[in-house]
């Protein structure tokens, strides 16, 4: 299936990470992926463009590079803005008595440099399904189904201690959220029940780019089927 990976990506980010976009003329693009066809599809403000890859390794590498490029640009921009705001405090008559602002700005600069050097890994949120739909997961994912039951049991214990008169299992709002960690070829499923997040976590590892990308495609199909 075809689904959107990254919305509203600036040309300079794509041109830097994808050589095939350097000669295209557009300002921003929504980046879609067709995993079966091994291609990215750019929906730009100057038309649509297909970027085809020879194999799944190259497709995954392109996804990683674009994701990292977007994060670096966005986070560095926000950190620069935070430093500017801290250095432009409007009330000149008010100062911190200690070195809190200086230390904070130094910490921001260290973080910015670390991010700029690419010292991080990222996750992509694929979407979520409610526990009512968990039965539609293929039988090859029994650990996710077990995690849901374990999470409901954990929540019942917490809820029973804090509000026993209003803790009804049949009325729980619970869902499973799926994430992809491209650089590690992992799918992560977390279970949230009511106001308690990450009650359980399941991590699926994949040995190669093909299996990993096809797993993303499978989960996206399930998520899309049950989207509101």
132-148: pLDDT as tens digits: 888 888 888 899 989 98
Q: What is the tens place of the pLDDT at every residue in 75-90?
A: 999 999 998 888 887 7
Residues 152 and 169 sit within 8 Å (Cβ to Cβ)? yes
As a whole number of angstroms, the distance between CA 216 and CA 86 comes to 41
Residues 66 and 60 sit within 8 Å (Cβ to Cβ)? no
Residues 18 and 62 sit within 8 Å (Cβ to Cβ)? yes
Could you count the other beta carbons within 10 Å of the beta carbon of residue 211?
14
pLDDT score at 140: 87
Could you count the other beta carbons within 10 Å of the beta carbon of residue 22?
10
pLDDT score at 197: 77
**Closest of 38, 32, 35 to residue 7, by C-alpha:** 32
Q: What distance, in Å, lies between the first and last C-alpha atoms of the chain?
A: 18
**Residue 167, SS3?**
coil
pLDDT score at 31: 96
| Tokens matching residue 89 | 């405090």
**Residue 203, SS3?**
strand
Ranges of beta strands (E only) in 36-137 are 39-44, 47-52, 124-130
Name the pLDDT band for 174 (thresholds 50, 70, 90).
confident
Q: What is the tens place of the pLDDT at every residue in 176-228?
A: 999 999 999 999 999 988 777 777 899 999 999 999 999 999 999 999 887 65
pLDDT score at 212: 98
Distances (CA, A) of 41 to 23, 84, 127, 132, 214: 16, 37, 20, 33, 17
pTM: 0.85
* Per-position DSSP letters for 7-24, written without gaps between them: EEEEHHHHHHH-GGGTT-
**Closest of 54, 57, 2, 61 to residue 31, by C-alpha:** 2
**For 45, which DSSP code?**
B
Task: Encode 116-134: b = buried (16+ Cβ within 10 Å), e = exposed.
Answer: eeeeeeeeeebbbbebeeb
pLDDT score at 33: 97
């Amino acid at each position: 299936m075809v689904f959107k990976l990254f919305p509203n990506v600036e040309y300079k980010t794509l041109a830097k990470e994808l050589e095939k976009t350097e000669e295209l003329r557009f300002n921003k693009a929504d980046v879609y992926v067709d995993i079966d066809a091994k291609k990215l599809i750019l929906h730009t403000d100057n038309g649509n463009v297909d970027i085809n890859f020879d194999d799944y390794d190259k497709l995954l590498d392109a996804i990683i590079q674009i994701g990292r490029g977007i994060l670096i640009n966005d986070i560095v921009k926000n950190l620069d803005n935070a430093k500017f705001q801290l250095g432009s405090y409007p009330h000149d008559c008010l100062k911190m008595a200690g070195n809190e602002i200086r230390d904070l700005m130094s910490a921001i600069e260290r973080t910015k440099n670390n991010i700029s050097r690419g010292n991080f890994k990222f996750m992509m949120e694929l979407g979520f399904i409610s526990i009512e739909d968990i039965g539609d997961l293929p039988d090859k994912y029994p650990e996710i189904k077990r995690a849901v039951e374990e999470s409901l049991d954990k929540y019942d214990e917490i809820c029973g201690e804090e509000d026993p008169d209003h803790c009804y299992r049949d009325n729980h709002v619970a869902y499973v959220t799926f994430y992809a960690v491209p650089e590690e070829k992992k799918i992560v499923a977390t279970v949230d029940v009511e106001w308690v997040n990450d009650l359980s976590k399941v991590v699926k590892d994949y040995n190669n780019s093909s299996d990993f990308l096809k797993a993303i495609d499978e989960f996206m199909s399930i998520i899309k089927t049950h989207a509101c």
